[in-house]
């Protein structure tokens, strides 16, 4: 409202008489009135000392950095690329796919490996996405909209300048020390069982 009226939005102070006064002192209207007067006086005194602030206008680097080459990271990279933004996709391992590489089918019976292969193909064939495999971040610096991230790929360092970063580093399954896991060869985690299905 202030901006639409042509006023500096930083020349505003709010005295919240409802939350900080009326609701707190519902049983004592005299105390509530006295406190309300104090809150208004304090707000007026504060705003009288305010100075108009101007927001800085910054150029935002249009390049994106996506950390993690699993399904979420690849989907984010593909979405950004589809909107016209150049993307650097960083994966610590030698392969894209993350945990999904070890999943067999969804609960609906969908073939995860086929869908994963299609997603990987769409990302690797996208000229707007630069893929960095066997790569780790070693340093990040900068500020909103303008970051510099140093990547280390097998000892070779490279600095990427970007405006945003999406962190899609995924997770690992929990390994139990119960239910004879690790003791009885018939006890598997879900991922281990799916891997056996993938291997037929």
Structure tokens at 151: 């990547």
Q: Which two tokens stand for residue 59?
A: 């150029």
Question: For the chain, how long is the longest CA-to-CA vector?
Answer: 80
pLDDT at 115: 96
pLDDT at position 18:
94
Q: pLDDT tens-digit profile of 102-120?
A: 999 999 999 999 999 999 9
* Owner of token pair 């995860």: 112
* 41-84 pLDDT, tens digit each: 999 999 999 998 888 888 999 999 999 999 999 999 999 999 99
Give DSSP secondary structure letters for 51-82: ----PPP------EEEE--BHHHHHHHHHHHH
For residue 54, the model assigns a pLDDT of 87
The yes-or-no verdict on residue 98 having pLDDT over 90 is yes
pTM of the model as a whole: 0.71
How many Cα atoms occupy the beta-carbon half-sphere of 144 within 13 Å? 3
Quote the tokens at residue 165. Answer: 């970063």
- CA–CA gap between residue 197 and residue 113 (Å, rounded): 11
Query: What is the phi/psi pair of residue 182, to 5°?
Result: 90, -10
Please state, in angstroms and rounded to a whole number, the distance separating the CA atoms of residues 153 and 161.
16
Rounded Cα distance between 185 and 57, Å, is: 62
Helices (H), the chain: 17, 29-48, 71-82, 112-124, 190-198
Alpha-carbon distance of 148 to 140, in angstroms, equals 6
Torsion-angle region of residue 183: left (phi > 0), alpha (psi -120 to 50) or beta?
alpha
Which of the 8 DSSP states describes residue 26? T
């Amino acid at each position: 409202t202030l901006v639409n009226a042509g006023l500096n939005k930083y020349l505003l102070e709010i005295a919240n008489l409802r939350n900080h006064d009326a609701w707190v002192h519902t049983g004592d209207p005299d105390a509530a009135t006295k406190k309300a007067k104090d809150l208004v006086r304090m707000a007026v005194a504060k705003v009288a000392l305010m100075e108009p602030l101007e927001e800085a206008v910054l150029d935002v680097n249009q390049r994106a950095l996506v950390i993690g080459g699993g399904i979420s990271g690849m989907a984010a990279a593909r979405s950004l690329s589809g909107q016209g933004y150049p993307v650097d996709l960083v994966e610590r391992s030698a392969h894209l796919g993350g945990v999904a590489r070890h999943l067999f089918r969804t609960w609906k019976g969908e073939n995860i490996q086929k869908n994963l292969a299609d997603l990987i193909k769409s990302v690797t064939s996208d000229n707007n996405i630069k893929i960095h495999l066997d790569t780790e971040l070693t340093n990040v610096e900068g500020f909103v909209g303008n970051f510099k991230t140093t990547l280390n790929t097998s000892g070779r360092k490279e600095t990427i300048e970007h405006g945003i970063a999406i962190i899609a580093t995924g997770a690992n399954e929990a390994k139990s020390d119960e239910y004879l896991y690790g003791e009885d060869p018939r006890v598997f985690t879900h991922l281990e069982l799916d891997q056996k299905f993938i291997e037929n």
